[in-house]
A = this chain, B = another copy of it.
Amino acid sequence: MVSEEQKPYHHGDLRQQLIDAAIALLQSEEVSQLSLRQVARQLGVSHNAPYRHFADKDALLAAVAEQGFQGLYEAMAAVTEVMPADPARQLQAIGMAYVEFALAHPAHYRLMFGAYRPTTCSPEAELLQAAGQAYGVLLNSVIQGQQAGVIRGDDPNQVALSAWSLVHGLAMLWMDGQLPMPGQSVTQIAECVTRFLLQGLLADQRTATSGGNR
């Protein structure tokens, strides 16, 4: 009886389209520039239509952030499938993938880490879960490294958090244009920086694992 796909009025899935449009706008705009009315305009619906799908502007932003964490998770998880061999090398590769994701989607990445966060004091369970999933990749890699006797046997959360802080800080500093070394590419810097921390995380303290540190 219903030959047409059951579309809610004008759009196939306005909720997802709103998220996608916001992400698209974040390719060329900062999160502070992003307005709800603008997203609606982009889709040709009234400035009021989003309220059918999101309680708030923040609710839309939270959904956008959640989708970002899913992308980050996939980028990190892909690394663990490609190179499961050397745990230390894998840990550094995850860090590199993390930084590359942030550099590829700066505004989206910034949104994920709460630069907005005005009314969003609510738990936002899905968002936290998506973030935890990405963090889990890092944590698993640390635990495997410990079981292999390569990574030092401290609390794996402390180790994983060190790595997360390092790459997060590096990505943010790059985005803010605060990196003091214009001569080198971010990738080079990231490799060097992650190598330093990795050296401190090894179980036996001999030589760093990767990269020809000339």
Contacts and interface: CB of A to CB of B under 8 A. Distances in A.
Contacts of A159: 196
Contacts of A157: 180-181
A29 B48 CA distance: 28
Interface residues of A, number: 50
Nearest to A169: B169
Does more than half of chain A's interface fall in helix, strand or loop, or is it mixed? helix
Contacts of A201: 196, 199-200
A169 B176 contact: no
Given A33-B118, A200-B199, A172 B168 contact: yes
17 contacts: A32-B116, A33-B118, A113-B173, A114-B175, A114-B176, A154-B192, A158-B181, A158-B193, A161-B179, A161-B180, A165-B170, A167-B169, A168-B173, A169-B172, A196-B197, A198-B200, A200-B200
Interface of A: 30, 32-33, 110, 113-118, 131-132, 135, 154, 157-162, 164-170, 172-173, 175-181, 189, 192-193, 195-201, 205-206, 208, 213
Given A114-B177, A157-B180, 18 more contacts: A32-B32, A32-B115, A32-B116, A113-B176, A117-B176, A154-B213, A158-B189, A161-B181, A162-B196, A166-B166, A166-B169, A166-B197, A167-B169, A169-B169, A196-B197, A198-B200, A199-B200, A200-B200
